[in-house]
Structures are given as structure tokens and as C-alpha cells.
Structure 1
């Protein structure tokens, strides 16, 4: 049996979602009880008011654009998530579906907006994002703390881990890495020498040149570090690649897997340049510190041999003559004659 106009009015009044008829001028012509409850007003207080008057200021432009798209016929149905301001000042979220409201005779003069309250969903998303940020900060703090602890055991110069992280972030940004890749690079940099935990003190702390057997043992730290770090469930694969491959060489003569050129993961190629620069400009038990300029000259000399040429060029671009390096320092004072001996 055909429905009567009265049946449609009942449907409008008792719908379980908010329903608004909005004129092309943006004024509310009709609103059902559920819609009025969402806004915190009596229905008669809203009729005749512009929908923009209850829209959050930051969402007014988006609301106007959505209405215009529907009114112009650019889209038959528009869906938008937006905020409103209730009568009591509380900000609430809706997911609205907007379409033309046809008339029995003549063209449409208004739109119908179906409003679903998603305020609790948005609050849950916000809380989850805050929790994720907290967990991320906890992870980064733990990784950095472990990296700094490794410095003490290796007798590396204080601040090495924080410096190479800083260099890596600036170099990564210069190369156009997105935030996710920068985070992965940071995690890998924090734990790049984790495998040195497996190296005996007699080799790790030796002040003289390592013999062939000792050097072979020292080289196992990259793969060992990878195996240890792989047990951290939240550590992403690109971060693990930094730990395993930051001693690979562009010419394929590095370790542990003798990868060459672009076979070496990008983040490992980036970190390798930063790590070597800091190693050269830092004093160690087995070497004196190089000046910043001497270290940069060495990186330039190893461009295309040890390092990715483009990465070296980007790193060099971070240095302004006379202004020091990415940390703003003026470099370190005394060059050493042994360029690559146990550099990092």
C-alpha cells in the first residue's frame, strides 16, 4: 500500500539518527528530535538558524564546500566528518551524508543531511594516538639509553650515539625521507653497534691495531647486532637493516654481506656516512680526533668507493664553510694519519 505523507513525517521524527533539511542558503528548515538532541537545543531554537552558526570555526570552510558540491550537482552524495559546537559549548563530531532533497514539483530547494554522532569514536582515536605516541617515546628512550650504555662499554667518545642520530636526522631530511623512514633511521642509529656486546673486551678495547683474526671477530658485530635486535618485536625491518649493513661499502668490499651500491639499504647508506664522520672527528683510545675539514675531505675521497655518492654530496651540503657541521660545531683539532683504522 502506498505510504502517506504522514508516514514520512513519522519516519523523519523517529529516525535513530539526526536529520536536517538545509536550504541552499545554509539555513536549517527542519530538524528531527535526534538531531536537536545532538546539538543540545530544542528543535524550534535551530529552525531558521544557519547551520554554520553551530559549526566549529575550523570546519566552516569544509561545510560550505560540501554544500556547494551537492547544490551544484558536482556530486550526488557528499560525506564529511566535521565538528559542531553544542549549546553547552562542548565540541562534538559527526559523520554527515548530504544529498539534494527532491520536490514533487520543480527543482530541489534544499538538501537533506543525515548526521551520525561519532564523538566517542573520535575520542577513542585521540586516546589511542596519545598512547601510541607515549609508547613510541618509551621505545625511543629505551633504544637511546641502550645505545648510550654501549658507548660506555666500548669507551667511545661521550655523546657518539646522540650525535650520529642528530647527523642522521638532518641528512635524512636533506634527502627527503618521510617521517616514518626518519623514525626507522633513528631507531637503527640508536642500536647500530648493539652487536659489540658479543665482542670480547680483549678485542673491543684493544688500543693497538687488530690482527687478522681479531679483525674478523670484530666484523661479526654487525650481523650479531642484527640477530639481537631482531628479537625486539616493534623494531621495523629498515631499522634492522641499519644495524646489519652500516659497514657495507659501495664497491661491495664491506661486511657482513658484501652488498654493493643500491643493494645496500638506503638507510644503512645514509647512516654509514654519519657514523664515519663522527668516528673520524672523535678521539678514541686507538686514534686522535680529526678536524671536521679533514673528515669531510676523507668522505669526499671515498665517494663512490666506500659511500653512496649522492649521500656524500647531501652530507657535504649540510656544512657551510666556516660554520662547522650539522651540530653547529667548528670541528675537532688534530688529524690522524690512519684514515680508516677501526674508525667506528
Structure 2
């Protein structure tokens, strides 16, 4: 299976020592960058045609998957540290080279985009994007129906990384203050800094998904929001973002079992929201809207991955591998020392008579 263009390793010449690599065989058969890509299903995309329980690319059992998750966690942590080290200590030329290479993945601005930005973005959004710091970082966008495993994904996969370099944000209903703003303003405030890995538990896609299902916005408004999100994501890539968008695809049968489990156990009552029932009643509508929305916003620089979520261990292993691939493809190197190593070594040994 050919490597997807969006995940081609950055061809940049950097100074310093080679970093960790994921060239070692992954737990999956095939290229993990393309195994779950939405684009492989053709158009029009139909979410119901994507399996929710099949272990695509993985031949092992649950125990094998959990062992692989643990075995690869160290590599994920090392790659995240390498990203942090690059932003903190690499030379200016190296940092600019990586940022430019990532930005080249996004389409160039054209006159229509410039015109539409004025119509789709508020001045506050434009100002926030203008001052957004440039630099490499990863943003994992998790979408999915209630009980699809988004929270457990964060708890299981992201703990392999240094918490000082991980930013997790869960998006719910906008507050009164946020509701008076452009819907992208609260998103921009939550974006990870350069060198960090960010996770959105639900995201800006809710601002299209929910009103479409509930019928609270005009069709023209929703169309504008879809276009705005495409432009927004391209701008993020130009700023150095590596986007990984994942839909955790759960079956109605598995969702029912998980929701009932929350009601059956006292220590899980807090996780149950009465609105979960309303959303479940619209399960098929959500599937239809998701199908159209994902296809409309899938792009080489911002690809969607649809991962069957009926087996939690499988979806966690898949997302971990997507993160590993994204970080590894940056082709970073450990920054060289900006000081005389021999002299520092001598001073250390001499300190306190050492």
C-alpha cells in the first residue's frame, strides 16, 4: 500500500544526533497512515459501510493488542520528547526548516480564499491567527458518538507522553460568553503550543454536526462553516500543525451496552448525561451527517481516519500508531549542544572536588 502524500517524511537537513525512529515493524500489516483513511472508501462516503468491530490490519487477539500498546508506548514518549527538544533547543535555521516543510503540505492561499476569509472569519479570529506562534506541533482531533471511547483514549494513549508537553481539551456546549463570540475563538485559545501534542475531545466539528442534526441553523450557514473549517485547518498547517483527525466509529449495539453499563454501576452514574438518550434517538441521523461532513473536510494536509471503536483496545492501538507515525515523519534530530562539552564536563568534575 503506497505511503500517503500527507505523511511523507519531511525532507529537511537538520544538525544534531539522529532521533528515535518507528522504522521497526509496527503491530499492523500495511501502512498505518492509510489503513483507516476515509478516502479509500470512495465517494459518496457512507459511514455505515465501515466496520466497527473488525481488526483492520491486525491479526492478533486482545492480549496481543494490549501488549503491543504497552510495547510501543515508550517510542511514543521518546518521539514526543524529541519534538519538545527541537522546539526548545534546535537552532533557528533548523526550526525554520521544519516549520517551512510542514507549511508546504498545505495548499497555497488563493484570491478566493483571501476573499472568503473576510466573509467567514471575524476580525478577532483573523487577529488570533495572525499572532499564533509558528512551530511544529501535533493536534489529535477525536470525534465520535457518546461512549465511543474518546475519554478512555486520552487516558490510555496520552499517558505515555510527558504531561508537561500534552494539552487536552474537551469541548462541550459553549458558555454564554463563548456563544457571543465567533465559534472559532474558543478553539484558537485551546490550541497547543509549538512542541506540544494537543488533543481535542470533540472539536470545532461540533459547530457543524450538532446544529445540522438539530436543525437550528440555516443550510447556507452550515455550508459556510464547513468551508471555514477547511480554510482554518489549512491555516493551522501553515503555522506548523500536524493534524490527525479520528472518528471513533461505534455500532449502535455496542453504544447501547456501554450506556447501560453507566446506568448499572454507581461509580459510572456521573458519566451518564440525559442528553445521551436524545443523541441516541438520532443515531442514524448522526451517521448520515458524519458521512457528509467527513468527506467534505478530508484533505491531504488534514486527513480523516475512521477507526472501528467496538474494541477499545484496538482503537487505542490504532490511534497510538497514528501518533507515532506523525511524529516520526517529522524526521527530527536531537539538537546539538550549544556549548563546549569538554569544558562543561571538566567543570562538573571539578565542582565540590568531584
TM over 0.5: no
Which structure ranks higher in relative contact order (CA pairs < 8 Å, sequence separation ≥ 6)? 2
TM-score (norm 1): 0.25
TM-score (norm 2): 0.24
